[in-house]
Chain A
Amino acid sequence: MICAGIDAGSRAVKIVLVDADTLDVVGSATADQGIEQDALATRLYEKLLADCRLDRRAVAGVVATGYSRNAVSVADTTITEITCHACGVRHVAPEAATVIEIGGQDSKLLRLSPNGGVRDFAMNDRCAAGTGRFLEMVAARLGVGLEALGDMALRSARPAAISSMCVVFAETEIIGLLAAHAPPEDIVAGVQTAIVKRVVAMAGRKLAPPVVFTGGVALIPGMDRALAAAIGQPVCVAPNPQLTGALGAAILAARQRRE
């Protein structure tokens, strides 16, 4: 039998199918989030099943997670992204003691207990300065795609100082930097540094190694380097970081089925 995890995030919907017995991934899919979140998730789910030559009867359980988890009608139950990311990361990186997840709308710090559960967690609130939204803003302002930001940051010789703790104010700073002819590469690198500083400020206390970096923002080259520099220890990017929430949801669906 198959179990499914649907991570209905603020920026994208991600779905992972796992074999309920072996927990091997049998398929995955992502799509940009939209207004009709349930319809979007359902369409993506059905397309993924079709691509994997499966139908709904093959699915023993569906867990939804993420910001819009309660809107996903095909799900049997919901579990928060805190628990799902912890589970997903532990599956791909069993040694993980700390998880930093930066998504489109929020960022999280999870401290894991030796048995893999969440011991404690923190999330940003109100401010988007520690999230992918910040990167979207700078990409739009610079007229480049998100995928270009990593290479741009790597070319920076002197990251710009972005001092605002608020994305809206930071945008004003960026306009000022552009007016002062600051290289776009330096601005991007400065934004990356500002994001990780915000995350580190949220983390507050010492981070137990190993630290695993996950979430969609972990896909952007250079973010892991900036994060490692900010926390003063190596950071390992989870495989398929955008999918760890959905993977955890699928695994938890499989566990629920066993119970």
Chain B
Amino acid sequence: MTDTPRRITLEEWDARYAELRAGGLREPAYGGPLRRHLDDGDLRLARLLYDNSAASLRLWNFLLTEEERLRQARAGGKKLVGTMKDLGTVPVMAYSLPNVVAFYPDGAWWLPCVMEMSTGMLEVADSLGIDEAFCPVRAMLGAFLTEAHFPIPDLLTCSVGATCDDFSAIAQRLEALGYPILWWEAPSRRQPDPGEAAVCLPGGFPAPQAQVDFVRSELERLRSALEALAADRLHDGRLAEGIRAANRVRRLLAELRRLAYKAEPCPLPALEMLIAEMLAIHFCSDRAESLLVFEDLLRETRRRVDAGQGVLPPGAARVFWVNPVADLRVMNLLESCGGRICGTEYLFCHALDEIPEDLPPMEALARMALADPMVGPVADRAERICADIRAFGAEGVIVSRIPGASHCATEGAVIADVVASSLGLPVVEIEVPPLSDSMQPTLSTRLTALVEVIREGRTG
């Protein structure tokens, strides 16, 4: 059995799985060969390239079995909370209660890609008047109506206000269809006025204390709702322990990002890192298990770094990636074009920062929610991106737009301008639809050209 890291196809995973099993691979209950997910309808898997480690296999299996996990949780008497447009706050609260499981219905935005449009969820959204002028997260409407991808939660929450216009419209449509939503407002973050009481948020941006107080009051409403749902108290002690547990996951991810994005050669592919970052927000419906998944992944990455091994040849162009892609395959494409990921900003960088543990829990959570890049000025977001580019040593930037997503439309050009003028790095904007196959030649040209520019810059 070889443990040499490399990217392999689903076909190759069949043999690799047999090899790992023969070598004594021990898997959790949700383990198994990757191919079974293809057989279940996740057609896109046949076109992706994967990391060949057992740790990555576990990551994929954890991701692709979330629906079963949610149904099991319900069958076991747990209450389900759908935390919409929430990048890391309400799940921390929900998991602080012993009999509550939170999940992320917005995650359905990847279903058109993963199932290669075979479920017709976007068509359902179309029929409801939420057409392609909206972000692909509109697929969530189809997921609710068909009940085919997650159970209908016992409580639905949704942040609104400064977070995302698209999502607000989509969630309002959902509520009108008979799915009650507990809305909570995230105000547009602003600079404190002179003399105004201010606090420093996770991530380093200042905000008026009054705005934090407002968010805290909104989160208090959520606390009450969660308590009513669980018929249990969500006291500060439980919240503090929930925050500590969330921070354990975030610390693991932070270390994973440090290793994966800085080590040379690249120890872990972009696709697995994207999945890992996404999982960290909501723990993929099992916080305790997500910790184990990350520990495995980190252990494997460390082993590779220590051994000087990577999944890509040394010298790959170091690219910072802004915004998540609707088509997972594009992360593979970057690497096939000679690039690698060295830093990301997938619109939830605040949810990767540790939540302050030295503050009253609700104050800490309110500050974290207000640090969301989607509620702040784009200049703040660009500033953080520049800081992360410096920290990870990226040589170029991809700003990836999501079709229909209003944040991407308005913020991409600003971020590109700030990065280019502050750091002098080449920036390329691309747009990635849920299935980008027909656009692969043009996407490939842009990504390859960026790699060429970066390489030429090294010699010039």
Contact = CB atoms under 8 A, between A and B. Distances in A.
Contacts of B427: 120
Contacts of A117: 453, 456-457, 460
A122 B446 CA distance: 9
Interface stretch (A18-26, A76-84, A91-99): A76-84
B118 interface: no
Contact of B431 (A67, A81, A119, A125): A125
B327 to A, nearest CB: 14
B442 A80 contact: no
Interface in A62-94: 67-68, 70, 79-83
Interface in B414-460: 416-417, 420, 424, 426-431, 441-442, 445-446, 448-449, 452-453, 456-457, 460
B445 A125 contact: no
Contact of A83 (B417, B446, B456, B460): B456
Q: Which of B429, B446, B449, B457 has the most CB of A within 10 A?
A: B449
Interface of B, secondary structure class, is helix
A119 B448 contact: no
Nearest to A126: B431
B453 A82 contact: yes
A205 B417 contact: yes
Interface string A32-47: 0000000000000000
Contacts of B359: none
Given A113-B460, A125-B431, A118 B413 contact: no
Contact of A67 (B445, B446, B448): B445
Contacts of B452: 79-80, 82-83, 118
Contacts of A79: 452
Nearest to B424: A119
A122 to B, nearest CB: 7
Contacts of A67: 441-442, 445
Contacts of B416: 204
Contact of B445 (A82, A118, A126, A204): A82
Contacts of A70: 441
Contact of B453 (A106, A120, A125, A126): A120
Interface in A93-141: 106, 113, 115, 117-123, 125-126
B413 A204 contact: yes
B382 to A, nearest CB: 15
Nearest to B426: A120
Given A118-B453, A122-B429, A80 B441 contact: no
15 contacts: A67-B442, A67-B445, A79-B452, A83-B449, A83-B456, A113-B457, A117-B453, A117-B457, A118-B426, A120-B453, A121-B426, A121-B453, A125-B431, A205-B417, A205-B420
Instruction: Give 8 closest A-B pairs by Cβ, nearest first.
Output: A82-B449, A80-B449, A117-B456, A83-B452, A120-B426, A118-B453, A115-B460, A117-B460
